[in-house]
Amino acid sequence: MRKIVVAVTGASGAIYAKLLLDQLVKLQAQIAKVAVVMSDNAKEVWRYELGNDEYQNYNFDFYSKKDFMAPFASGSARYDTMIVVPCSMGTLGRIASGISDDLITRAADVILKERRKLILVARDTPLNLIQIRNMATVTEAGGIICPAVPSFYSRPQTIEEVAMTVVNRVIDLIGLENDSYRWIEEQ
Ligand SMILES: Cc1cc2nc3c(=O)[nH]c(=O)nc-3n(C[C@H](O)[C@H](O)[C@H](O)COP(=O)(O)O)c2cc1C
């Protein structure tokens, strides 16, 4: 049973966070706990891109990004997986540099030091060398860069279906059983 932290930051792609949280609701039988922490800009971008504040409606444990008393600010709480979705280049850079100045970056620091699973759904384009080096640094430290790059071979028809091609890869990386599209089964 997974104990999962979902951090939402202010990159474009609030839809990825929404769809991942929706999936975690559906897959709750496989999960012990979901904790959510959002940056200030994540809330702004969610409101701007999705036109609502519905992140407040999820029945998960929400934490302020200033709350260093949150359980997953310590390795002893044994959260095993953290996803930053979408992950801004700012948050990527702070994680790569070990700047644990809020709950998101502290939690990522903890996950890496405990050798657990950190998945960054990084979003920006094009990328500069600093961003690419930060992705390499996080990868070398054991993190997984899972860029918000959709695929089209499942022939998605709606924005949600396009975004789900990214979210399904995240669900697979977390290790949750799900019945998403599988290329091999279409042969
Ligand atoms: C509508 C909107 C879209 C943005 N898209 C991106 C993006 O795709 N990638 C990115 O790195 N930053 C993006 N930003 C900028 C970040 O929100 C900004 O760098 C912020 O400081 C990130 O802080 P956070 O990681 O604490 O949320 C966007 C900002 C806005 C308002």
What are the Cα distances from residue 121, in Å, to 57, 75, 76, 87, 170?
A: 22, 22, 25, 5, 8
Q: Which CATH number fits domain 2-186: 3.40.140.10, 3.40.228.10, 3.90.45.10, 3.40.50.1950?
A: 3.40.50.1950
Q: Is 10 annotated as a binding residue?
A: yes
How far is residue 114 from each of residues 6, 23, 110, 150, measured CA to CA in Å? 17, 26, 6, 30
With a CB cutoff of 8 Å and minimum separation 6, the contacts of 132 are none
CA of residue 11 to ligand 1 center, whole Å: 4
> Is residue 45 within 6 Å of ligand 1 at its C-beta?
yes
CA–centroid distance, 80 to ligand 1, in Å, is 26
- Residue 37 confidence (pLDDT): 98
Using the atom order of ligand 1, give the atom closest to the CA of residue 41. Answer: 27
Separation of CA 18 and ligand 1 centre (Å): 17
DSSP code at position 127: -
Q: Which of 37, 38, 40, 45 to mutate to test the pocket of ligand 1 (most atoms within 8 A of CB)?
A: 45
Q: What is the DSSP string of 101-112?
A: -SHHHHHHHHHH
Cα–Cα distances (Å) from 70 to 32, 41, 76, 89, 105, in that order, read 16, 20, 11, 24, 13
Those residues of the chain that have pLDDT short of 70 are 185-187
CB-side neighbour CA atoms (13 Å) of 79: 25
According to the model, what pLDDT value does residue 186 have? 57
Closest ligand 1 atom to Cα of 9:
27
Q: Is 123 annotated as a binding residue?
A: yes
User: Whole-angstrom Cα distance, residue 55 to residue 41?
Assistant: 13
Residue 32 φ then ψ, to 5°: -80, -40
CB 13 within 8 A of CB 148: yes
| DSSP letter assigned to residue 4 | E
Residue 38, classed as helix, strand or coil, is strand
Q: What is the pLDDT of residue 179?
A: 87
| pLDDT score at 180 | 87
Q: Where are the domains of the chain?
A: 2-186
> Which atom of ligand 1 is found nearest the CA of 89?
11
Token pair recorded at residue 94: 């702070």
